[in-house]
């Protein structure tokens, strides 16, 4: 073989090795590229009706819908933010606003999980708009109490003696 042909083959082999190495590096970094949004800030707003709104501020819109579940004992709500990485610099916050006691954040694979520790279980709703995820916690409905001795029927309805 001629020397120029040998040089061309050596260059081609080097180029293939470099491109193979770059491909391996790209595959190694690919899972990190899938997490497209960063959680940058969390704001708490106490509402006049006793509810609390928690705003998760992302650097870009959420790629999918958040999922959630609730546990009654102990009272907790967990919300999964898909393809989000926590960049707030904090993983646990004492909140102590109405029913919300604390918030714990955990990066779990391709999502960030937010777990709210609550003083009591109650209804909540999640709304997504642009780069904000709003979670509104409502106070649980309190049972209605009546005074002892308050008649349950009006005079002339059914005499108390005939009631079983």
- The confidence score (pLDDT) of residue 108 equals 86
Q: Which residues contact 135 (CB under 8 A, 6 or more apart)?
A: 53, 54, 56, 77, 79, 116, 124, 125, 126
Q: Quick one: average pLDDT of 130-157?
A: 71
Whole-model pTM?
Answer: 0.66
Q: pLDDT of 94-126, one tens digit each?
A: 999 999 999 999 998 899 999 999 999 999 999
Residue 148, pLDDT above cutoff 70: no
Phi then psi for residue 149, to 5 deg, are 90, -5
- List C-alpha distances in Å: 119 to 63, 72, 101, 140, 143: 31, 10, 6, 10, 17
- The confidence score (pLDDT) of residue 39 equals 96
Predicted confidence band at 93 (pLDDT cuts at 50, 70, 90)?
A: very high
């Amino acid at each position: 073989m001629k020397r120029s042909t040998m040089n061309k083959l050596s260059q081609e082999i080097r180029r293939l090795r470099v491109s193979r190495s770059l491909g391996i590096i790209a595959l190694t970094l690919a899972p990190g590229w899938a997490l497209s949004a960063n959680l940058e800030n969390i704001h708490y707003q106490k509402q006049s009706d006793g509810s609390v709104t928690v705003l998760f501020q992302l650097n870009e819109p959420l790629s999918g819908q958040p999922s959630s579940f609730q546990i009654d004992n102990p009272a907790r709500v967990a919300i999964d933010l898909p393809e989000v990485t926590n960049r707030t610099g904090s993983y646990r916050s004492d909140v102590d606003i109405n029913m919300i006691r604390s918030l714990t954040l955990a990066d779990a694979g391709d999502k960030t999980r937010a777990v709210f520790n609550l003083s009591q279980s109650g209804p909540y709703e999640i709304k997504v708009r642009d780069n904000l995820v709003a979670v509104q916690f409502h106070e649980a409905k309190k049972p209605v109490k009546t005074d002892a001795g308050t008649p349950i029927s009006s005079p002339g309805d059914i005499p108390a003696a005939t009631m079983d």
